[in-house]
Amino acid sequence: VSDPDPVQVPVANPDGTARVAAAVADALEPGDLVLLSGRLGAGKTAFTQALARRLGVVEAVTSPTFTLVRPYPTTVGFTLLHADLYRLESTVEVADLGLAEELDAGAVAVVEWGERGRAVLPAEHLDVRFEMDPAGDATRRLITLGAHGRPWTDRFASLAADLPGVARR
């Protein structure tokens, strides 16, 4: 079975990004991996904060600078791991983070600069890419979601069906 076509969602402002994040949060199941990509300031942390809020995380989610990965308890039965590979120097470090083991144990991981770890992270994941507005609008973003592998392809159609309405609301 091949992966479904990616879905593109234009959002006008941070609230739009937050609604997309909430829709993704609602689709999450234990063991899921979400890789976020996009340039500095594109909205990866903002997305993660909204996703965490939707999962009942009360702690403030900040970028895990020195640790690379930080766990947050949620109210939905799994731990949310927030990782940021921006400062990654080698993929060996990604393996050392033990994310694959944590996913196997039922955690959900959201990874900023996730493409830097793609080679050593599980192939089954949801891709979320953030692009700035080509015309230079400060708050518009194009968010592209792509499903890779069985756990996501099975759920992607219902997630994708929610998204355009979610973004426009």
Which residue ranges make up the site for ligand ATP (CB under 6 A)? 11, 13-14, 16-17, 38, 40-46, 63, 86, 112, 139, 141
Question: Under 8 Å CB-to-CB from 108, ≥6 apart: which residues?
Answer: 28, 29, 30, 31, 32, 33, 34, 78, 79, 80, 81
| Residue 44 interacting with Mg ion (CB under 5 A) | yes
**44 vs 54 by CB, closer to ligand ATP:** 44
Q: Would you state the structure tokens that stand for residue 119, as one six-digit string?
A: 């080679």
**40 vs 135 by CB, closer to ligand ATP:** 40
Assign residue 113 a region (left: φ > 0; alpha: ψ between -120 and 50; beta: otherwise): left
Q: What are phi and psi of 140, to 5 degrees?
A: -80, 140
Q: Which does 11 bind (CB under 5 to 8 A by kind): Mg ion, ligand ATP, none?
A: ligand ATP
**38 vs 114 by CB, closer to ligand ATP:** 38
Nearest to 33 by CA among 164, 159, 146: 146
- Figure out which of the listed residues 45, 78, 130, 159 binds Mg ion, where binding follows CB under 5 A: 45
- The contact set with Mg ion (CB under 5 A) reads 44-45, 63, 112
